Amino acid sequence: MAGMGDHVAALEASLAVAVARGGDPQGEVYARLFARHPAMEAEFWRDGSGRIRGEMLMRSIEACLDLAAPHAPAGGWAAAFLATEAVTHAAYGIDRAVFADFLPIIAGQVAAACGDEFTPAMAAAWALVLDRAGVVLGAVPGAAPA
Ligand code: HEM
């Protein structure tokens, strides 16, 4: 078996390649979010500067790196963070299914930005992260009916 840190390394490598090729991913990630969920753009009415969107993206990427680490999903910060934010966002009026779409949107943007440099190891790392996020969010009580 490959070393247990390999998923984290592959995820980090994908982010580095994506940024090297495409620059700051923030604009593209939110363009994808609002293309898929047009009503959501208005939810950021408080975010005139884009810094809340920046914070949300940065924390989400940190959560992805944590989910790729060997200790997840049995414990770990990302599981608690995602579960907490799912509840916080429900209070903002963000549907659970829409909330759950954000990490897949990030993964899709990273893969697209990497282009032909997106390796099978990177794909495997992101698949693991999305899988684990799905398990975590599926276990949050009070999930909105699909
Ligand atoms: C994995 C998914 C997500 C994570 C981890 C996440 C995380 C965060 C964090 C850390 C913040 C800043 C602090 C806070 O208010 O809690 C934030 C703010 C916000 N998020 Fe998300 N978010 C996610 C998905 C989404 C989605 C899909 C939407 C859809 C529009 C959304 C809408 C917002 C809004 C509107 C705010 C700002 C609220 C305000 O006015 O202060 N989030 N998010």
Tens digits of residue pLDDT in 129-146: 999 999 999 988 765 554
CA angle 112, 38, 102 (to 5 degrees): 45
Report if residue 24 sits inside a domain: yes
Q: What is the pLDDT of residues 78-118, one digit of tens each?
A: 999 999 999 999 998 899 999 999 999 999 999 999 999 99
Residue 4's pLDDT is what? Answer: 54
The full length of the chain comes to 146
Claim: this prediction has a pTM higher than 0.75: yes
Nearest CA to ligand 1 atom 27: 99
Say how many Å lie between the CA of residue 30 and the centre of ligand 1.
Answer: 11
Give the range of the structural domain holding residue 76, as residue numbers without chain letter.
Answer: 6-138
Per-residue pLDDT averaged across 117-123, rounded? Answer: 98
Helix extents (H) in 23-101? 26-36, 51-68, 77-92, 96-100
Say how many Å lie between the CA of residue 1 and the centre of ligand 1.
Answer: 36
Report if residue 1 sits inside a domain: no
Mean pLDDT of the chain: 91
Residue 129's pLDDT is what? Answer: 95
Per-residue pLDDT averaged across 48-59, rounded? Answer: 95
Report if residue 18 sits inside a domain: yes
Per-residue pLDDT averaged across 24-31, rounded? Answer: 96
Report if residue 146 sits inside a domain: no
pLDDT band at 76 (very low <50, low <70, confident <90, very high): confident
Q: Measured from the CB, is residue 59 less than 6 Å from ligand 1? A: yes
CATH number of the CATH domain containing 73: 1.10.490.10
Residue 141's pLDDT is what? Answer: 78
Nearest CA to ligand 1 atom 11: 56
Q: Measured from the CB, is residue 2 less than 6 Å from ligand 1? A: no
Q: Measured from the CB, is residue 102 less than 6 Å from ligand 1? A: yes
Per-residue pLDDT averaged across 50-71, rounded? Answer: 93
Report if residue 106 sits inside a domain: yes
Report how many domains make up the chain. 1
Residue 72's pLDDT is what? Answer: 61
Q: Measured from the CB, is residue 44 less than 6 Å from ligand 1? A: yes
Report if residue 145 sits inside a domain: no
| CA proximity to 111, closest of 120, 102, 99 | 120
Q: Measured from the CB, is residue 98 less than 6 Å from ligand 1? A: yes
